[in-house]
Structure 1
Amino acid sequence: MKYFVTGAAGFIGSKVCELLCLKGYQVIGIDNLNDYYEVSLKLSRLEQLTPFSNFKFVKMDISDRKSILTLFSKEKFDRVIHLAAQAGVRHSMESPFSYIDSNVDGFLTILEGCRHHHIEHLVYASSSSVYGMNEEMPFRVSEPTDHPISLYAATKKMNELMAHTYSHLYGIPTTGLRFFTVYGPWGRPDMALFKFTKCMLSGQPIDVYNNGLLSRDFTYIDDIAEGVIRVADVIPVENSAWRCATGSPADSSAPYRVFNIGNGRPIKIVDFIQSLEQALGVKAIKNMMPMQSGDVYATWADTEDLFATISYRPSMKIEQGIQNFVEWYRSYYQFLDVKVQ
């Protein structure tokens, strides 16, 4: 079995590559190593994969149509796990065209590769941000997602629509995974845990939006990667009983599925910060801020259908997950403990 993983130097992508290699699969990983955040961190993630003889890295951009299609033709992949994307809700307001280039044009290139090379399953990253203005909790994949509130969310919604189109037209089995808030060692510097830790260890205040009255469905990286790989083994089939008027938007008469992938237990940001304070031994200096444009008050994943499908539930407790991140961060950046005044 040969896997093609895009975004292999990314937070989730590198962990997925690692687990696939540990399971004995051949893995070809690509990444364009862009500078949205420090490239050195991406390179360090890739270094963790060098001991695996069944892993090969190729520096490549998913929007490079000719190179991507040549790679499909050369390597003869069995399955594709597409995790490459321009991430970040707020950055999408500052650099909108980069989101269309990567998340829309790039995804189309991957779909075309799957179409012309008989890929048995395409698993791709969607996002909880597609729920947008939805207010009913927990978020369920059976609900419509027609009102995104950021361009990033709109591109992820477009990915789901494009995947359905290719599943319907060409019979390509596709599974979209709506990721919630992923955290853990090797995480992204633009995410809250990373930013909070850096500021707190440097004695700087942390920005806490909406006065801390937010909650997120935090899910540990190892649990996410295991879920992704298990989903890849469950290839969607056509549901002949499905009808557009009565069926779930997450299912179809085409070989198409969408799942939430998260912890299913939202954590208040104030409680999250408290756990981080305990792990660091540092009291946070909180800079209370108003709500940000494009942000949502809460995320909470209904994941029962996913767990029933893959027979797996996340097991990492938030306190231990944060502790694991702190230990990694201190080791990676060689930070000294900061004493509380």
Structure 2
Amino acid sequence: MTIILVTGSAGLIGSESVRFFCDRGYTVVGIDNNMRQTFFGENASTKWNRDLLLEKYEERYIHHNIDIRDREAVTKLFQDYGTDISLIIHTAAQPSHDWAARDPYTDFTVNANGTLILLENTRQICPNAVFIFCSTNKVYGDKPNFLPLIEQEWRWEIEETHPYSVGIDETMCIDQCKHSLFGTSKVAADVLVQEYGRYFDMKTASFRGGCLTGPSHSGTELHGFLSYLMKCTMLGKPYRVYGYKGKQVRDNIHSYDLVNAFYHFYQAPRIGEVYNIGGSRFSNCSILEAIQECEAIAEKKLNWSYEEVNRSGDHIWWISDVRKFQQHYPGWNLTYGIKNIIKEIYIQNTSRWN
């Protein structure tokens, strides 16, 4: 039997991974203890998503309510499935800048220690398995904010002649900058994943994503940009924009496109790789542009306000250069643009949010 192990399996990327691999006939073992509700409150609970997966894939999906920081429980699970585990997709995380500053101990133990526990069990029990880590562009800290950016009417941009005009690639330094405590814990995990690959010759990869999005996101104010923005638009809830005149730019990648990238890596894995992954120039927007799209699709006005102080370490402009991954895996392409993503979030959540 071939087992796909997914951590954070009821979250956005985790649940997309479950669906993707179950639909292709694999048996998927999920780890998720709904820590997102602990982080962000009842409205961020992923229980609804977990229940949908169990109902739809009752013969292919096996769920475990385990905390990835629990060494004994994680080790027992790895021992139970042994070398049948051929792929680990690690998406479980504390994902918020602001929350990390409130409780640095929990943030670091979840993001860094939890990743170490998973890597070591992979090395000891199923060393031939592929290990994919859902990292973040926050490993680059605020370095992107020192690029020569140009203010336009609706967004910040970079000169077309700049080397990063296509997007920021993996050569950007991660040192000597402000990361936020969240970014720091993810740096630790990211480097661990690389080192286990290089030091122990394991098939590992860190995918450094920007805004990961899709209809399965349990978006909240502190995490889940497009999902939460559309939710506020639909329900008439107030939305706050923090700093940079609302012109800060993010590339947004649909959860399906990201998991499809994981699948391509799984089919032809490499050792200790790092990839910037996101919507690139194919799928990106500023907050002001995203507000316009949400209002047009929902046919409602968003009740939003502006605060001049930006979130510490937040990016003014981020677009990923995905050409390295495309060169390694030319069969992979982005399929979801911003309008498609926002419209799908609206359609698939209308009954749940209204």
* Fold in common (TM above 0.5): yes
Determine if contact 2:141/2:183 at 8 Å carries over to the other structure.
yes
1:203 to 236, 258, 268: 236
Q: Which residue of 2 aligns with 1:304?
A: 323
Instruction: Describe the superposition over 1:118-139 as per-residue Cα deviations: whole angstroms up to 9, x where unpaired.
Output: 2421111110111212234422
Deviation at 1:90, TM superposition (A): 1.5
- Aligned residue for 1:122, secondary structure, equals strand
Change (3 A) 1:196 1:79: closer
Give the alignment of 1:216-227 within 5 angstroms: 216-227=250-261
Q: Which residue of 2 aligns with 1:213?
A: 247
Which has the larger share of helix? 2
1:83 to 84, 88, 91: 91
1:320 aligns with 2:340: yes
Q: Which residue of 2 aligns with 1:57?
A: 63
Q: Which residue of 1 aligns with 2:204?
A: 174
Instruction: Describe the superposition over 1:2-55 as per-residue Cα deviations: whole angstroms up to 9, x where unpaired.
Output: 111111011110111110111111211111212224378412212222222121
Residue 145 of structure 1 aligns with an amino acid whose one-letter code is: I
TM-score (norm 2): 0.85
Q: Percent identity?
A: 24
Change (3 A) 1:148 1:306: farther
Question: Which deviates more from structure 2 when the two are superposed, residues 271-280 or residues 159-168?
Answer: 159-168
Change (3 A) 1:55 1:203: closer
Q: Which residue of 2 aligns with 1:115?
A: 123
Q: Which residue of 2 aligns with 1:245?
A: none
1:262 to 268, 278, 284: 278
1:143 aligns with 2:172: yes
Residue 19 of structure 2 aligns with an amino acid whose one-letter code is: E
Instruction: Describe the superposition over 1:68-100 as per-residue Cα deviations: whole angstroms up to 9, x where unpaired.
Output: 111111102122111111111221111211111
- Report the RMSD for the aligned CA atoms in angstroms: 1.7
Tell me the distance in 2 between the aligned counterparts of 1:188 and 1:259. Answer: 25
Task: Count matched residues.
Answer: 316
Determine if contact 1:129/1:148 at 8 Å carries over to the other structure.
no
Q: Which residue of 2 aligns with 1:158?
A: 188
2:107 to 71, 88, 99: 99
Instruction: Describe the superposition over 1:258-308 as per-residue Cα deviations: whole angstroms up to 9, x where unpaired.
Output: 001111123122111100000110122331112222311111100011122
- Aligned residue for 2:63, secondary structure, equals strand
1:193 aligns with 2:235: no
Question: Which deviates more from structure 2 when the two are superposed, residues 104-113 or residues 263-272?
Answer: 263-272
Determine if contact 1:217/1:300 at 8 Å carries over to the other structure.
yes
Residue 55 of structure 1 aligns with an amino acid whose one-letter code is: Y
Can you give the 5+ residue segments of structure 2 that lack an aligned partner in the other structure? Answer: 148-163
Residue 280 of structure 2 aligns with an amino acid whose one-letter code is: G
Change (3 A) 1:164 1:316: closer
Determine if contact 1:131/1:139 at 8 Å carries over to the other structure.
no
Tell me the distance in 2 between the aligned counterparts of 1:145 and 1:6. Answer: 26
Tell me the distance in 2 between the aligned counterparts of 1:203 and 1:42. Answer: 22
Tell me the distance in 1 between the aligned counterparts of 2:183 and 2:293. Answer: 29
Q: Which residue of 2 aligns with 1:274?
A: 292
Tell me the distance in 2 between the aligned counterparts of 1:119 and 1:44. Answer: 34
1:16 aligns with 2:17: yes
- Aligned residue for 1:49, secondary structure, equals helix
Residue 63 of structure 1 aligns with an amino acid whose one-letter code is: R
Tell me the distance in 1 between the aligned counterparts of 2:339 and 2:295. Answer: 11
Residue 32 of structure 1 aligns with an amino acid whose one-letter code is: N
Determine if contact 1:200/1:282 at 8 Å carries over to the other structure.
yes
Instruction: Describe the superposition over 1:232-277 as per-residue Cα deviations: whole angstroms up to 9, x where unpaired.
Output: 22211xxxxxxxxxxxxxxxxxx21000111112312211110000
